[in-house]
């Protein structure tokens, strides 16, 4: 299979992988007449128990006759906001809300839509319709109702950063060190032409309200809901849900790291280990990966193999160890940015490193699907054009990066590696985490090149991946493996 041929599959799957609208839980319908001009109308409805998010779509007839019906809402205890006539859709949850509305508990009981009628002509009848959804998953997982960019390609992003909602700080306009607003993080990502970012403040969910406000304006940068869960024995990022996840891992009471990971999975999100090889102690409490009891690694989707931080470092040793044990963890990277104003290319700057994901479109569901399937490489140079893609063939078996290849003992395996913007660098191929004498480094002579190599399979399970390094041996790009003779997922 030629490099990039998997895009045809993504084109077929795109409608399935996109966030899909759930059916309304409730319809509210009624009429407004000319006699109700300049009045307020309460439309009550009941919210059941165990609702954490409520979404409303509102429409009415009579626009051509200058009928105007403005919209607001109140819960059983307080006013939750009014958007007038400027929004036909809004969502409220415990963590975030559409601007004009307040986040907070979605209490069971009698709620009401508040309809204001600033104008309806005498003799006119307007029909209104409100569709109400309880717990819509697509709005738990994304701040964008539609893909920001359609179509399959490689999308570039940063999956680890912090703002004022945890320990992110930057210099104020007067030069003082202050908590850094979310806006500056998103603005920096946009200025560096990133396609997506995940703002992963520690344990909290308060950043989601700001992200829901900013997403419509920053409509070229996908904002993925995330948080960094910090336990006493390691940190992990969660991607793809705004719902609360209890981060309090206490080894002796049953709510351990496994319990957190099961909750993540139940909410449709994914988890990744952060900076596993970081030193841990009073200088960085719980930063290294040191769980005191066994963790079910199959509950993880990824591992942050490259962390930008103050000093960029790799956790590839733990990654290879877990793959050797049979766990297919997708390697991702993150800047671990704590200051949005750090200049591009600086230590811990947004986008350094860049995680590059092959996805069917620029949506949360598609980016997470790309990570789940291992269609990912890490660009340590923060470029906007580098590419590293690996495909393989053994007999009738074909596999792209992140996929499975079947190869019996002694079977020749053909490898095709597509590299872009790497002229003068070297391609290195690693088997089971190490370079092999059978796969010598290959020089890259042009800016868009397909390199070829051959490897003879041996019995048992193996994994094979590609790296690009410069002439001095510095790692520039790291790709995810092709899994050879691994058990079915």
* pLDDT tens, residue by residue, 105-149: 999 999 999 999 999 999 999 999 999 999 999 999 999 999 999
Per-residue pLDDT band at 13 (split at 50, 70, 90): very low
Give CATH 2.60.120.380 domain extents, the chain: 26-135
Give percent of the chain above pLDDT 70: 95
What are all long-range contacts of 393-396, with beta carbons under 8 Å and residues at least 24 apart? 393/1, 394/457, 394/484
Reported in sequence order, the residue ranges of 294-343 that DSSP labels E, i.e. its strands, are 302-307, 313-314, 330-334
Which pLDDT band, with edges at 50, 70 and 90, does 285 fall under? confident
Q: Check: CB of residue 402 under 8 Å from CB of residue 435.
A: no
pLDDT for the residue 89: 98
What pLDDT band is residue 2 in, cutting at 50, 70 and 90?
very low
Average pLDDT, integer, range 378-396: 97
pLDDT at residue 14 greater than cutoff 50: no
- Cis status, amide bond into 414, omega within 30 of 0: no
Q: 4 pLDDT band (50/70/90 cuts)?
A: very low
Measured CA to CA, the distance from residue 359 to residue 402 in angstroms comes to 13
- Asked if pLDDT for residue 258 goes beyond 60, the answer is yes
pLDDT tops 90 at residue 263: yes
The contacts of residue 425 (CB under 8 Å, 6+ apart) are 419, 444, 468, 469, 470, 471, 476
pLDDT at 19 over 80: no
**Residue 142: exposure state from Cβ atoms within 10 A (0-12, 13-18, ≥19):** buried
In this predicted structure, the answer to whether residue 427 has a pLDDT above a threshold of 60 is yes
> What does pLDDT average to over the chain?
94
Q: What percent of the chain has pLDDT over 90?
A: 91
pLDDT of residue 252: 61
> What angle in degrees, to the nearest 10, is found between the helix axes of 364-372 and 6-17?
130
**What is the rounded CA–CA span in Å between residue 294 and residue 317?**
18
C-alpha 472/C-alpha 391 separation (Å) is: 26
How would residue 251 be classed by pLDDT, with cut points 50, 70 and 90? Answer: low
Q: Which of 319, 329, 321, 278 is nearest to 299 (CA)?
A: 329
Cβ contacts of residue 469 below 8 Å, gap of 6+? 425, 426, 428, 441, 475, 476
Gap between the Cα atoms of 440 and 116, Å rounded:
73
- What average pLDDT does range 6-12 have in this prediction? 36
Is 274:329 a contact under the CB 8 Å cutoff? no
Residue 319 CB contacts under 8 Å (≥ 6 apart), including other chains: 276, 303, 305, 329, 331
| pLDDT greater than 70 at residue 9 | no
* CA pair distance 420, 457, nearest whole angstrom: 28
Residue 280 has a pLDDT of 87
CA torsion, ordered 146, 194, 306, 159, to nearest 10 deg: -40
Across 235-256, average pLDDT: 90
Answer whether residue 187 shows pLDDT above 50.
Answer: yes
* Encoded tokens for 113: 């839509």
* 260 three-state secondary structure: helix
Quick one: how far is CA 99 from the chain centroid? 22
Tokens representing residue 137 in the block: 């998953």
Fold of 26-135: Jelly Rolls (2.60.120)
Phi, psi torsion values for 49, nearest 5 degrees:
-65, 160
**d(Cα 188, Cα 343) in Å, to the nearest integer?**
9
pLDDT range class, residue 7, cuts 50, 70, 90: very low
- CA pair distance 237, 226, nearest whole angstrom: 7
Distance from C-alpha of 170 to C-alpha of 164, rounded to nearest angstrom: 9
Q: How far is CA 156 from CA 229, 270, 328, 359, 362, in A?
A: 24, 18, 22, 10, 10
Question: What is the pLDDT averaged over residues 221-242?
Answer: 97
Using DSSP's 3-state secondary structure scheme, residue 350 falls into: coil
| Cα dihedral sign, 177-181-185-191 | negative
b/e sequence 206-227, b meaning 16+ C-beta within 10 Å = bbbbbbbbbbeebeebbbbbbb
Judge: domain 141-384, CATH 3.40.640.10: no
Ranges for all domains in the chain classified under CATH 3.20.20.140: 141-384
Interatomic CA distance for residues 264 and 277, integer angstroms: 23
Beta-ladder partners of 84: 71
pLDDT digits (tens, 9 = 90+) for 100-110: 999 999 999 99
- Residue 182: CB partners within 8 Å, gap ≥ 6? 163, 164, 165, 199, 207, 210, 211, 214
pLDDT given at position 298: 96
Residue 157 has pLDDT above 90, yes or no: yes
Q: Which residues, other chains included, contact 266 with Cβ-Cβ below 8 Å and sequence gap of 6+?
A: none
Residue carrying the six token digits 């209890």: 246
Inter-residue contact 61 to 69 (CB < 8 Å): no
């Amino acid at each position: 299979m030629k490099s990039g041929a998997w895009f045809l599959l993504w084109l077929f799957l795109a409608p399935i992988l996109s966030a899909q609208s759930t059916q309304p839980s409730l319809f509210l319908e009624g009429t407004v007449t000319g006699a109700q001009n300049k009045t307020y109308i309460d439309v009550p409805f009941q919210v059941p128990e165990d609702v954490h998010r409520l979404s409303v779509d509102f429409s009415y007839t009579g626009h051509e006759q200058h009928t105007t019906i403005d919209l607001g809402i109140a819960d059983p205890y307080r006013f939750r906001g009014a958007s007038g006539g400027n929004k036909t859709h809004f969502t409220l949850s415990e963590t975030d809300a559409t601007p004009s509305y307040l986040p907070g508990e979605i209490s069971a009981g009698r709620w009401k839509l508040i309809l204001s009628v600033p104008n309806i002509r005498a003799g006119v009848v307007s029909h209104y319709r409100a569709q109400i959804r309880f717990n819509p998953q697509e709005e738990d997982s994304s701040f964008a109702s539609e893909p920001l960019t359609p179509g399959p390609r490689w999308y570039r992003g940063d999956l680890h950063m912090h703002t004022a909602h945890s320990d992110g700080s930057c210099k104020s306009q007067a030069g003082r060190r202050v908590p850094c607003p979310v806006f500056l993080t998103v603005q920096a990502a946009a200025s560096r032409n990133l396609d997506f970012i995940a703002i992963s403040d520690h344990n909290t969910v308060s950043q989601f309200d700001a992200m829901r406000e900013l997403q419509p304006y920053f409509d070229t940068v996908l904002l993925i809901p995330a948080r960094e869960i910090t336990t006493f024995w390691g940190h992990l990022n969660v991607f793809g849900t705004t719902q609360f996840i209890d981060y309090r891992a206490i080894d002796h009471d049953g709510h351990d790291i496994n319990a957190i990971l099961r909750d993540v999975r139940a909410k449709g999100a994914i988890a990744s280990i952060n900076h596993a090889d970081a030193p841990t102690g009073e200088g960085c409490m719980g930063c290294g990966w040191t769980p005191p009891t066994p963790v079910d690694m199959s509950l993880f989707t990824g591992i942050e193999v490259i962390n930008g931080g103050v000093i960029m470092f790799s956790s590839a040793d733990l990654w290879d160890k877990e793959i050797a044990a049979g766990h297919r963890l997708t390697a991702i990277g993150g800047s671990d940015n704590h200051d949005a104003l750090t200049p591009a290319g600086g230590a811990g700057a947004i986008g350094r490193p860049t995680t590059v994901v092959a996805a069917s479109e620029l949506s949360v569901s598609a980016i997470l699907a790309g990570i789940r399937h291992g269609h990912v490489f890490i660009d340590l140079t923060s470029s906007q054009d580098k590419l590293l893609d690996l495909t393989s063939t053994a007999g009738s078996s074909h596999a792209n990066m992140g996929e499975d290849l079947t190869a019996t003992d002694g079977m020749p395996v053909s490898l095709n590696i597509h590299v872009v913007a790497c002229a003068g660098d070297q391609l290195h191929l690693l088997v089971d985490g190490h370079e092999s004498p059978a796969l010598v480094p290959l020089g890259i002579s042009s800016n868009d090149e397909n390199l070829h190599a051959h490897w003879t399979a041996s019995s048992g399970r193996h994994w094979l991946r590609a790296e690009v390094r410069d002439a001095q041996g510095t790692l520039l790009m790291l790709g995810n493996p092709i899994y050879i003779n691994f058990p079915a997922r």
